[in-house]
Structure 1
Amino acid sequence: MKKFILTLTIAAAFQSVAAQEITLDKIYSGYYRGRGIAGITSMKNGENYLVIEQGGIAKYSYKTSQKEGNIVDGQFESYEFSDDESKILLLKESEPIYRHSFLGKFDVKDLKSGKTIALNEGKFVQEPRFSPDATKVAFIAENNLFYQDLNSGKITQITTDGKKNSIINGLADWVYEEEFGHARQYEWTKNSDAIVFVKSDESEVPEIYIPIYGKTLYPSEMRYKYPKAGEKNSKVSAQLYRLDNAKTISLNLSSFKNYYIPNVIQTAKADEIVLITSERIQNASDVLKVNTKTGNVQKLFTETDDKWIDTDSPTLEFLEDDSFLWGSERDGNRHLYWYDKDGKLKKQVTKGNWEVTDYYGFNPKTKEIYVQTTEKGSINKVVSKVNIENWKSQLISNAEGNNSASFSKNYNYFIETSSTASKPYTFVLKDGNGKIVKELQNNDAQLQKLKADNFTEKEFFTIPNEAGDQMNAWIIKPKNFDKNKKYPLFMYQYSGPGSQQVANSWDNGNALWFEMLAQKGYIIACVDGRGTGYKGSKFKKVTYMNLGKYEIEDQIAAAKWFGNQSYIDKSRIGMFGWSFGGYMTSLAMTKGADVFKMGIAVAPVTNWRYYDSVYTERFLRTPQENPDGYDKNSPTEYANLLKGKFLLIHGTADDNVHFQNSMEFSEALIQNRKQFDFMAYPDKNHGIYGGQTRPQLYQKMTDFILENL
């Protein structure tokens, strides 16, 4: 079952302006907004696919690409099918909590009878999920796990000890959700007779509080458990609940790695669940098979790495015979490996100096897997099918750009979503061999508007660092670029572990702002240095135990390289970054003070001791083990070096990178008698948005650049 979120893509009316140029008003009016296709999914028959439209959930034919009507009418935020497609779960209303979690009110509609019932009597729940036999829906309310019988309507409460900031059942705590990438921590067995869930006791986890100012006479408080590096985490345990006797037992994981339980996964077998676990040092993960009849736990195998394992996004897919595919970086690149049902390695399925970046499925008839890879270069992502028995591979997407796929259940068709840095998203229906059937949607109108306003294309190239690596880079030059002139340089980066900003894909983020700045006479550039992704594990993991050290060295080296180009004014180089990128900008303005004239750091980490345990310890271990790795790479240690114009920006209600980071850095700068600019956004989280916040933020940053670079 898959969940689809409705994204509105209706462009707002354009307010005409005299000049043919990109402006903030145009960007934030929605004038350049592209069009998409929401909620693409295949039906079980493999002959039809569904999309979310204004009037409801529409059914289309793969063969004719023609609409065959709506399966459900109305407006919904998202939907989820039961496995047999007899019922559909409809999200009617939601309230966000953190990055992935939200409270929702749901209806369940029986598509055969037309009958609709409210889940949990219409009250808010979290993470509802159909049982595989479509007779029940499990959900979480107030930190307890329940299920509702869809025939009788009866609600059964599985746990009773759930309590805010204390005990959580079947739901991730803050740090699990943020760093392991999902909120749901439970799973049904294939035969619907049991649920395995994670219980988290966060009662001893230190609590963070955030003042909420609002418009009240006295500010209120937001309090939640946030384990910082080296501090106590939730105590987790795996629980097995059987519906036949309504009893819960705690699974014995004492013989295995059990500090973290990031993943609970359904297998192809009726009475089985797989857990992925690890110790606090995230350099080894156990893959454990749970017999849900007996509660017995068996280790299939242990994945190890001398640095870390990305337990937040494992590839684990069970095939019909209960053998499984597993993603690993063990040969230096992320590839897929095929194991038998008992955890014995059968073979490596993909191999080469490139990486598997996504897995779409397996066709048992042809013995082919469908994957997204970087086999056409690290800045491109393409879709291929690979025979797991003879390794024969066939490219079925475009050979360049960012290409992803949504396959029909029988793999006879797929809808390809593709873009490049110079071409916005297109949606094309193709057959299983990659032959175009029909273009479903393009964004030619969006591109024409941009070209009419003097949009310029990115240029891609590489830059050497001092270690001899070739770092991927892009550059945006002013429309009437003159190689005999000298231009100020504005560098953007993120630089976090495994990230990528230099990609041959359409950017709906900061790209239009960068284009606007280029029109004002700036050269914009971005460089992915050591620590970033898709160039192999050695390049990515060289930063281990020294997060920030090599990353800033590479950004300084890149700035110097640009400064040596005839068309760059080396006395006018600036940098901008958000979150990890804000951390890098803070280092650039201190450790790189002789190179960078100006910097804008948004929501930066300024001391890794203040960031969460799972993320930070993955790359640095704990502060107790590695104090120098924390302190010697903190910009607060180099506040005395600041020379240029520096703008520090943070939301006061940032639940991710706490406002405390900018407060500490500000105090260090103040005590070193350094002048800088600071902007606080009241009650705004890590994204700093809402109402007119983003237009005001980007106008402020634009003005700062124009005045100081």
Structure 2
Amino acid sequence: MIKITLRFSNFAILAFIAFSSISLQAQQSELSVEKIMQDPEWMGTFPSRIQWGIDSENIYFQYNLEKDPDDSLYKINLSKHSEIIKVSQAEKENMIPRYGDYNDKRSEILFTEDGKLVLYNIRKASRTALLNLGEGIRDPQFMADESKVSFVLNNNAFVYNLDNGSITKLTNISKGTKVKDKEEKLSDKNQWIQDENLDLLEVVNQRKEKSEASKAYRKSILEREPYTFYIGDKQISGISISPNGKYVSFNLIKRERGDNTEVPNYVDQSGYTKDLPARSKVGDDITKVELALYNIEKDTVFMVSTEDLEGIKDLPDYVKDYPDKEWDEKVREVITSKAYFSEDGAKAIVSIRSKDNKDRWIAQLNLEDGILKTLDRQRDEAWIAGPGLGWSFGGGTLGWLHDNKHVYFQSEATGYSHLYLLNVDNGNKKDLTPGDYEVFDPELSNNKKYWYLTTSAEGPDVRHFYKMPLMGGKMEKLTNMVGNNQVYLSPNEKYMAINYSYSNKPWELYLKKTGKGEAKQLTSGQSEAFSNYGWRTPELIKFEAEDGVMVPARLYTPSEETKNDAAVVFVHGAGYLQNVHQWWSSYFREYMFHNLLTDLGYTVIDIDYRGSAGYGRDWRTGIYRHMGGKDLSDQVDGVKYLIENHNIDPEKIGIYGGSYGGFITLMAMFNEPDTFAAGAALRSVTDWAHYNHGYTANILNEPTNDPIAYRRSSPIYFAEGLEGDLLIAHGMVDVNVHFQDVVRLSQRLIELGKDDWEMAVYPVEGHGFVEPSSWTDEYSRILKLFNESLLDK
């Protein structure tokens, strides 16, 4: 029987629906859906947004000890470890921000505050407002000569002299186009009359000649004024000023609005239906980016050409699947980062990505003529990604060492994201962190002699913080707690504030000296109601997939007394995300739900299927051109493992997940009906041609170029395979995965004559639910689905 149910935030009207399942839970578990899906504040308060004070004496973080409507800023002083103090408004206003640029001695920091340029002397603890120009100053930096600082104002580059207070404008960049002088052209008749008049009247002729001479003189003066570069209708971004003040680079961006989808909000406070602006669909990417180099001494701008980059015309491998189509070998469009200048300002590098995201070049930019020289090319026939590689407009790990000849970056060239050094003078490249693991967030020490970095060297399920010599060598492990250690170094690098968690323990703040020794716990935020339950530590296992690889998973097993021989497969969302690890999951509600299911006798498995993060390039790209391929077969193989090793009844298998997990659930219910008897697809993509460009085009290319990939990856094409019981749940104001996705799928199911499916819609919810009533309703329905479809047979 088909049921489409509208859910509103007032939970009282569905109490009768949830009563039977909740009362069943109460008989067998301390937990209930209502309890675990209530406002997360019931769990306690946990630190977030951790930062150090500039003096390395205070750790600041968001926290909530007073049951305020929202978190507030708190601090712990190193001399008073046990005292957590709420920060006053006056102290907040006087805090030195986390961002800013230090001088070489790290005795001063430069930053902006309310658009003003500010210098803070750390030793004297004094703040000096340097400039207030009435408009927002951005991106201040000490120059190579530290008596001068550069900054950006109104899309132009400036230099401020700290000694005499003078300001020099380096560039003259202007919107629009240059207005050309217009000369009035006379008709033949009027020209004859004017010429005759000038011949007859000498004074009039002299005045004309004098006016033309004055005009020519003024024009010659104007031509000697600073060169003005007009950007037309383009936007400017990524302004970068060389430390020697001789060069400025910037990106010119032209965006054209595509055919965006409007998402109707039926419950707007006005009482009227209002359209929410949302994204366009995959294939609608018409952003164009150009890199410009402003040579100050030559007073001109070079437009940087990427047409000679190695492999710029290469076609992707997938074109062989379309032998009847003609493919032009043309220069591919690219996205350029800002220029990264060496510390002396004499050299610059740029990160460049092809818009099809199959190539990433690091190139040296010749500062005299704007010509590029390729230093490193990373090619991936799937798509470029991985820790430290950033996104389309640069970012990620990239910069210069202080010797002005080595650049550093991250690359997946070996199959795992590692930290590299490259000598721009001789081209020698070195992998500083070789091994089958990944590197995260490397940063240089204050003295520029070491790296600090986080890695998964001890296994993909843990994260530790290390110190390593600048040119590579043995890594010294600085953390020792098993789980995830998110380290925040004090500005003087003597201490580490560690945000730490374990599988069954939410995040808490610890303090440790940078070196040997034990970490001291500073916060204990769990509520009594939360800590009274014995939260499980899931068992980490690996099972063999059909292609022979070992797939990691989290396993929750019930006691023999409660075991009901049914199993539930949870599929995490986001695609590229890791959930099989030994730290507190971002899916904390689902983790608690799995504890409830286990109490009730279910066996639960949570798989890091192909496409998940944390396992290197091959795992990351295992879904290329076929979502619902290996990522789905990994779920099926996980079920086989449960049947063979945990005596699970093959007729009692359920599956559920949200977003990408919802998509996999649909593919499972449509393509593996013999494996899965029931499934709950939450906020799921049903047709990848209707999702966004940035994510989808990487994995499936573009629909017009690679329709095969979309046809085999979209659930809507396989809906005829539905046999089991399906729950579809979706927020109606979802501007990420649009409600339109499940509307189209429901029409398809209706036309196919399918029954035994229902859809619950949530009028006030977007992609990530907010209201506890919505969470409670959704998971009550999931539990009811599994109880009725898997147990009542």
Residues 330-339 or 694-703, more deviating: 694-703
Match for residue 38 of structure 2 among 28, 36, 43? 28
Residue 148 to residue 335, structure 1, CA distance change in 2 (3 Å): closer
Report if aligned partners of 2:340, 2:350 keep a CA contact under 8 Å in 1.
no
Q: Which residue of 2 aligns with 1:174?
A: none
Paired position in structure 2 for 1:300: 375
Matched, 1:169 2:180: no
Residue 261 of structure 2 is matched in structure 1 by: 208
The letter for the 1-side match of 2:359 is A
Q: What's 2:335 paired with?
A: 261
Q: How does 1:550-629 map to 2 (within 5 A)?
A: 550-629=630-709
Deviation at 1:312, TM superposition (A): 3.5
Tell me the CA shift for residue 81 of structure 1.
3.5
Give the SS at the match of 1:503. Answer: coil
Q: What are the residue-to-residue correspondences of 1:658-669 with 2, within 5 Å?
A: 658-669=738-749
The answer to whether the aligner puts 1:335 opposite 2:412 as a matched pair is no
2:499 is equivalent to residue 417 of structure 1 = yes
Q: 1:657 aligned to 2:723? A: no
Range moving further from structure 2, 62-71 or 365-374:
62-71
Q: Percent identity?
A: 21
TM-score normalized by the length of structure 1? 0.78
Are 1:425 and 1:442, in contact at CA under 8 Å, matched by a contact in 2?
no
Corresponding residue for residue 228 of structure 1: 282
Greater gyration radius: 2
Query: In structure 2, do the counterparts of structure 1 residues 239 and 71 end up closer, same or farther at CA, with 3 Å as the change threshold?
Result: farther
Cα distance in 2 between the residues matched to 1:535 and 1:686: 27
Partner deviation per Cα, 1:263-313 (whole Å, 9 max, x = no partner): 436444254654322223322211134466765544332222343221535
1:547 aligns with 2:621: no
Counterpart of 2:463 (choices 381, 402, 408) is: 381
In 2, Cα distance between equivalents of 1:186 and 1:703:
56
Which amino acid in 2 is paired with 1:686?
H
Q: CA offsets per residue over residues 385-411 of structure 1, 9 Å max, x none?
A: 233546222222126322222223454
Distance in 2, Cα, partners of 1:207 & 1:505: 39
SS in structure 1 of the partner of residue 667 of structure 2:
helix
The Cα shift of 1:588 comes to: 0.8
Asked if the contact 2:412–2:418 (Cα under 8 Å) also holds between the matched residues in 1, the reply is: yes
The one of 424, 430, 446 equivalent to 2:512 is 430
SS at 2:670 equivalent? coil
Deviates more, 1:463-472 or 1:395-404: 395-404
In the TM superposition, residue 436 of structure 1 has moved relative to its aligned partner by 2.8
In the alignment, which residue of structure 1 is the partner of 2:768? 687
Q: What RMSD in Å do the two structures reach over aligned CA positions?
A: 4.3
Partner of 1:178: none
For the 8 Å contact 1:198–1:261, the answer to whether it is kept is no
Check whether the contact 1:546–1:629 (CA below 8 A) recurs between aligned residues: yes
| Cα distance in 1 for residues equivalent to 2:96 and 2:772 | 23
- AA aligned to 2:333 is Y
Rounded Cα–Cα distance in structure 2 between residues aligned with 1:451 and 1:661: 40
Contact map agreement 2:110 2:140 (CA 8 A) in 1: no
Residue type of the alignment partner of 1:169: Q
Deviation digits for residues 478-520 of structure 1, max 9, x if unmatched?
4xx1168433222111376543121111124232233233334
Which structure shows the higher helix fraction? 2
Q: How does 1:276-425 map to 2 (within 5 A)?
A: 276-290=351-365, 295-310=370-385, 311-312=389-390, 314-322=396-404, 323-342=406-425, 344-356=427-439, 358-363=440-445, 367-389=449-471, 391-398=473-480, 400-425=482-507
* 1:652-693 deviation digits (Å, cap 9, x = unpaired): 333332333222322221211113222333364322335854
Task: Determine whether 1:198 maps to 2:251.
Answer: yes
Q: CA deviation at 1:642?
A: 0.6
- Partner Cα separation in structure 2 for residue 325 and residue 403 of structure 1: 24
Verify the 8 A CA contact 1:145 1:169 in the aligned structure 2: no
Residue by residue over 1:214-240, the C-alpha shift from the partner in whole angstroms, topping out at 9 and shown as x without a partner, is: 2446533344663513x4431222245
Q: Equivalents in 2 of 1:699, 1:247: separation in Å?
A: 66
8 A contact 1:204–1:234 mirrored in 2: no
SS of the equivalent of 1:372 reads: strand
Q: Please give the residue correspondences for 1:122-201 in structure 2 after superposition, counting only pairs within 5 Å.
A: 129-132=139-142, 138=152, 145=155, 160=175, 169-170=235-236, 185-187=238-240, 189-190=242-243, 196-201=249-254
The answer to whether the 8 Å contact 2:50/2:59 transfers is no
The 1:227/1:324 distance shift into structure 2, 3 A limit, reads: farther
| Structure 2 letter corresponding to 1:685 | G
The alignment of Structure 1 onto Structure 2 pairs a total of residues equal to 648
Amino acid aligned to 1:407: L
> In the TM superposition, what is the alpha-carbon distance from 1:600 to its structure 2 partner?
1.5
Shift of 1:584: 0.5
The one-character-per-residue Cα deviations of 1:398-440 (angstroms, maximum 9, x if unpaired) are 2632222222345443222222213332332223324236433
Aligned with 2:537 (options 457, 479, 490): 457
CA spacing shift, 1:21–1:58, aligned 2, 3 Å = closer
Which position in structure 2 is the counterpart of 1:672? 752
Paired residue type of 1:491: V
Q: Judging changes above 3 Å, is the alpha-carbon distance between structure 1 residues 625 and 86 closer, same or farther for their aligned structure 2 residues? A: closer
Q: 1:56 and 1:220, CA in 2 relative to 1: closer, same or farther beyond 3 A?
A: closer
| Secondary structure in structure 1 of the residue aligned to 2:578 | coil
> 2:584 — aligned with what?
506
SS in 2 for 1:589: helix
Q: Does 1:251 pair with 2:261?
A: no
Q: Aligned letter for 2:639?
A: A
Change (3 A) 1:62 1:580: farther
Contact 2:336 2:352 in 1 (8 A): yes
Structure 1 residues 189 and 449: alpha-carbon distance in aligned structure 2, compared to 1, 3 A threshold:
farther
Tell me, yes or no, if the aligned pair for 1:167 and 1:200 is still in contact at 8 Å.
no
Higher relative contact order (CA 8 A, sep 6+): 2
SS in structure 2 opposite 1:487?
coil
Give 3-state SS (helix, strand or coil) of 1:441's partner. coil
Q: Which runs of 5+ in 1 are unaligned?
A: 1-16, 91-104, 172-184
Opposite residue 585 of structure 2, the aligned amino acid is D
Counterpart of 2:200 in structure 1 is: none
Secondary structure of 1:482's aligned partner = coil
1:39–1:281 distance in 2 versus 1, CA, 3 Å: same
Give SS of 1:596's match: coil
Shift, 1:82, TM fit: 2.5
| Cα distance in 2 for residues equivalent to 1:703 and 1:223 | 35
Distance of 1:495 and 1:508 partners within structure 2: 11
